[in-house]
Amino acid sequence: MPELPDIEVYVDRLRSLLAGRTLERVRLATPFLLRSVDPPVTAVEGRRVAGVRRIGKRIVLEVDGDLFLVLHLMIAGRLQWRGPGAAIPARIGAAAFDFENGTLLFTEAGTKKRASLHVVRGAAALREHDPGGIEVLSSDLAGFRAALAREVHTLKRALTDPRLFSGIGNAYSDEILHRARLSPFARTDGLSPGESERLWTAARDVLGEWSARLQSEPGFPERVTAFRPGMAVHGRYRKPCPVCGSPVRRIVYADNEMNYCATCQTEGRLLADRSLSRLLKDDWPRHR
């Protein structure tokens, strides 16, 4: 699932391409994508794009007339920028947004159609799509601690809960917890003041560093992935931890997995899948 650093790159590139441009037409390739009825999607056609922003993991195109297109990529949704009138790709194509200077394609791989498009009118309707999590990069330590204290969860679940923290998912939570040297299954109500400060610092550093790194790559982001070279633990099962050299471990549950370093994060203890099955069922990160 594209997370804060990836979404910010999309927003930056779309802002430069679309701000002030007229959305000429919306073409839908699948009935599963559009999740709203009123206003109709045709209401945005022929209107100027006034801005592009991020709400959590959602991309919002603001168009004249107090209308908003809310794109939620979920796990397999991606965006492509092509020439004017570009065809919607077979099998993975979901929608196309036509502009004079090009076409924004919305694709979704796989059979589980989770990506969505909403058309809403007014700021109040737009706020309904905001899960409410704080922006870690602009939060202070007190605000971060307050968000952690709202509910008792594992750190992995808390970091990926969009009601608590905005834009963090499975990949970057793994990286944050490794940087903070904390177990993914440590509880939010059991952190010392020093540990919570370490987690806050790690979250800001990881998200800031990866946002800057991805922003420095030229062109429109065509290969958005949760598995990137340079990550410390996520997607690096059995590879050496860049800090201590121990093999990176993983826990798999259903369609999910998390990666961690036992030496750096759990005092050498291996977190066995079977012994954690009940905990995973009750406290595994949710996709939102």
Three-class SS string for 200-225?
Answer: HHHHHHHHHHHHHHHHCCCCCCCCCC
Assigned CATH class of 151-283: mainly alpha
Residue 270: its pLDDT value, please? 87
The ranges of the chain annotated as CATH 3.20.190.10 are: 4-127
Instruction: List, as one string, the DSSP characters of 21-87.
Output: -EEEEEEES-TTTB---SS-GGGGTTEEEEEEEEETTEEEEEETTTEEEEEE-TTTEEEEEESTTPP
Can you read off the two tokens belonging to residue 105?
A: 């394609």
Can you read off the two tokens belonging to residue 271?
A: 């977190």
For the four alpha carbons of 142, 145, 228 and 92, in that order, the dihedral sign comes to negative
Residue 31: its pLDDT value, please? 84
Residue 248: its pLDDT value, please? 96
* DSSP-derived pairing of the beta strands 77-82 and 93-99: unpaired
Decide: helix, strand or coil at residue 195.
Answer: helix
CA 115 – CA 124 distance, rounded (Å): 22
Residue 274: its pLDDT value, please? 47
Alpha carbon distance, N-terminus to C-terminus of the chain: 10
In the numeric block, the tokens 């650093």 are attached to: 5
Q: Which segments of the chain have a pLDDT < 50?
A: 274-275, 277-278, 284, 287
Q: Which superfamily, per CATH, for 4-127?
A: MutM-like, N-terminal (3.20.190.10)
Q: Could you tell me what percentage of the chain is helix, strand and coil, using 3-state DSSP and rounding each to the nearest 5?
A: 30, 25, 45
The ranges of the chain annotated as CATH 1.10.8.50 are: 151-283
